[in-house]
Amino acid sequence: MTETDKKSKDSSPTKFDYDAIVIGTGPGGEGAAMGLVKRGLNVAVIERHSAVGGGCTHWGTIPSKALRQSVSQLIDFNSNPLFSDSGRDKHFTFPQILKHAEGVIRQQTRLRAGFYDRNRVNLLKGEAAFLNKHTIQITQDDGSTQDITAKTIVIATGSRPYRPKDVDFAHTRVYDSDTILSLKHDPRSIIIYGAGVIGSEYASIFRGLGVKVDLINTRERLLSFLDNEVSDAISYHLRNSGTVIRNSEEYDTITSSEDGVILRTKSGKRFKADCLLFANGRTGNTDTLNLKSIGLKSDSRGQVKVDQHYQTEIDNVYAVGDVIGYPSLASAAYDQGRLAANYIVDGQVESKLIEDIPTGIYTIPEISSVGKTEQELTAARIPYEVGKAQFKHLARAQIANSKIGGLKILFHPDTKEILGIHCFGTAASEIVHIGQAIMQQKGEANTVDYFVNTTFNYPTMAEAYRVAALNGLNRLF
């Protein structure tokens, strides 16, 4: 490093414009900004897009879940015997159901913009880049620039879909998980490359609209990080709905034409569809931050390393959310921002992100889990017992005609400590939090006995916990 470079990296003003600058307004940036300003700091937030909310609100979590909700309701309507007298199913196109998602995005944007306004956080629009460890240059759309300084800077720039160079994303028939929201035509068939959370969710959405779906999975199992029983269940239901799943496949070439896309795999298979959704991986948004000016490096996936307090190798620069990698969840990102803010203000905090972070996957049917899987417990040689409840036996599920799926509790046979909760079916991502709340308790409060000794409303889906607990305890001897 030359003396000029060193001076640029280390130089800092004697007086700062702000106590802290947060780059990005997604969940991580919002958590950090709100945590800092409520502790009395003067905070500026930089957002390069026209509205706040980040990728979570505009292209990721919110729109995809809103789409999924609309499609799920459509499926329920078409399968409900109360409405079967019409003689034919209702059909909506992808652009039609997007209108609901757009309405939710507008509501979320207004709500979150109000947070910054109400708390007097200075919201600045433009592209942010480091000049040195205390100075950020903001470039507006018209090319004009503004330099601002702060004692502390938090990177919360999120991530974007991974785009390999040999795939023509400029073609009108080739999409990623961001650009799929601009789909204008009504495809009869789609190839989804990548069967992770995003790919599996969109497979459910398109299949629910009656679109022929080829789901190309680069791994041996669908959503292999899940408990095997749950992975098998979602594989079965996707296939049962008509989705064709191809495991252990990788693309060789992707060829686009005016009327569709042809994908050839390395194994020699060929698939043709009206369009392609490439949903295989994400990249951290760090390439435009000029990190080299402060001596900070990102890895091959655009992510930066942080310690347990979300502090990077540069003492006054922190990073939270997708840009630091695992767990890459909106819920966790907000908590990371809040925890980073506490450390910035207090210098030392004991609070940290919880160890067992719940996973919610909004396929049709829905999936949610927290804690260990059966495979993980077996590999660690931890004894466990299983308690199960099938939703088809619950009165509430029968009333709602939501009889697919069930709940599984894993617990230690000696201490009865709850080790894992796995739920598949309607409202799974809500139901799992009951089990999570008990898992977070200490000592004897965290046992499967709680679900037997408490009284649940009847009829409810939550009653599955009592059924599963009794089922598991009956296995003990």
Give the residue numbers of the binding site for FAD: 47-56, 65, 157-159, 322
Residue 128 and residue 293: Cα distance in Å, rounded?
13
Helices 464-473 and 428-439, axial angle in degrees (round to 10): 50
Q: Would you state the structure tokens that stand for residue 136, as one six-digit string?
A: 């950020």
Determine which helix (DSSP H) or strand (DSSP E) holds 131, and give its type and residue range.
strand 127-132
Residue ranges for the known binding site are: 47-56, 65, 157-159, 194-201, 281, 322
- Of 53, 116, 117, 106, the closest CA to residue 330 belongs to 53
User: Residue 459, preceding bond cis, omega within 30 degrees?
Assistant: yes
Residue 310 and residue 342: Cα distance in Å, rounded?
11
Determine which helix (DSSP H) or strand (DSSP E) holds 175, and give its type and residue range.
strand 174-176
Helices 61-79 and 94-118, axial angle in degrees (round to 10): 140
DSSP letter at 381 equals T
Integer angstrom CA distances of residue 455 from 63, 203, 297, 466: 37, 39, 54, 9
Say if CB 279 and CB 198 are below 8 A apart: yes
DSSP letter at 445 equals G
Rounded to the nearest 10°, the torsion over CA 217, 221, 225, 230 is 120
Give the distance from CA 308 to its chain's centroid: 21
- Of 428, 311, 415, 314, the closest CA to residue 368 belongs to 428
Letter string b/e over residues 94-128, b meaning 16 or more CB atoms within 10 A of that residue's CB: beebbebbeebbeebbeebbeebeeeebeebebbb
- Of 472, 376, 461, the closest CA to residue 424 belongs to 461
Residue ranges for the known binding site for NAD(+) are: 194-201, 281
